[in-house]
Amino acid sequence: MSVPGTLPRINDEARAALFTDARTAYSFAGTPVGDETLTGIWELARWAPTAANTQPLRVLYIRTPEGKERLLPHLDEGNRAKSASAPAVAVLAVDHRFHEHIPHILPIRPELKDHFEAEPAQRDGIASFNGPLQAGYFILAVRAFGLAAGPMAGFDPAGIDKEFFPGRDWHSILVVNMGHPAGAPEFDRMPRLAHEHALGWA
C-alpha cells in the first residue's frame, strides 16, 4: 500500500541501468537504432524540469553516411572514430530563440515571450543554464532505452552550427554517440567522490 503524498521509487535494476552500471561507450556495435527509439528518447527527456518550462535544448540526430561525412570533419581527430562507429549521433544544441515558444509551453505567463525578447542577456543566461541541464536528462533517457551514450565535448561548435544550423540561432553544446557498445569497456570504471568529500549538512 502506498503512503499518500509519496512517489514511487524505481527498482534496483532501473537505478543500475541509469547510474551505477551504465558506462560511457567509445565504440559501438553495428546494431541499428530506429526512429521510434530516437523519438522516444526525446519524448522521455522533455518531461524533466527547466526554468519557467523554457526547454531551450534542440537535438539533431545524425545516422546516414552523408550526415556523418558532414559531421566528422568538425570533430577533434581523436573523436572521429567514435562517432563513425555509432549507429546514431545526437548533436545537442541550445536555441537562443526559445522564448518564441513560450505562449505554447508556458500558457500561464505568455507575456514572458516579449520580456525575453527585450532582455537578450537574460534570455542567453536562461538558455546557457537550462540547455546543459537538459543535456544531462537526455543522456539518462538514452540509457533508459537500453543504449549506451558517449558524450563528447571535443568538436568545433561554430563549424557544426554553420554546417547544420544555418539561419537558426541554435548553438551546439554537446555531441552524444549512441548505440549498443562493442564489447566490454576499455578500462575499469573510474572512482566517484564519496559522500564525505561531496556533501554538506546544515
Q: How far apart are CA 137 and CA 139, in angstroms?
A: 6
Q: What's the start-to-end Cα distance of the chain, in Å?
A: 33
List of residues 6+ apart from 118 with CB closer than 8 A: none
pLDDT at 2: 62
Sign of the CA dihedral with 161 first, then 165, 171, and 172 last: negative
pLDDT at 183: 82
Helix (H/G/I), strand (E/B), else coil: 134: helix
pLDDT in tens, 182-194: 988 878 999 999 9
CATH code, 23-183: 3.40.109.10
Helix (H/G/I), strand (E/B), else coil: 170: strand
Asked if pLDDT for residue 140 goes beyond 80, the answer is yes
Asked if pLDDT for residue 61 goes beyond 80, the answer is yes
Domain residue spans in the chain?
23-183
For residue 193, which phi and psi values (nearest 5 degrees)?
Answer: -65, 135
The CA-CA-CA angle for residues 133, 138, 139, to 5°, reads 105
Q: How far apart are CA 196 and CA 199, in angstroms?
A: 6
